Homo-oligomer: A and B are copies of this chain.
């Protein structure tokens, strides 16, 4: 197993710690060494989290831009300035900081959502709402499609 799949909701304890699902930790260990990289996602109240390989992907993307152009600067500002390293403690937990709470609205529980190459952290209610929106968008666009179906369904 080398992809982040499925989702789980875990509770934040009084000291602000939350367990990263064991399955995600296993994937993480396979993809990168130790540290976790977290980033405030664009447009949605979630954090994108992964190993250092996730950061590498962003940096590779930035390297393709003219390093003195505005776009490269914005991208670096976003992924370096608005990102953070998370440390897993000995029990596989991370501490939820204000940095994370502000952007996501996370309070006492965190929804961990697998996204293949990375996973996300959401406030559970927002996650459920967003999931429904996403499903609705998909099924609407499938109905509007005349030719071959974009995704899924019965063939």
Contacts and interface: CB of A to CB of B under 8 A. Distances in A.
Contact of A7 (B82, B114, B142): B82
Contacts of A120: 81, 153
Interface residues of A, number: 62
By secondary structure, the A interface counts as mixed
B76 A44 contact: no
Nearest to A73: B134
A113 B99 CA distance: 13
A129 interface: no
Given A60-B67, A77-B134, 18 more contacts: A1-B35, A7-B81, A42-B135, A42-B138, A43-B154, A44-B154, A48-B153, A58-B151, A61-B67, A61-B68, A80-B114, A80-B115, A80-B116, A81-B114, A81-B115, A81-B131, A117-B155, A120-B153
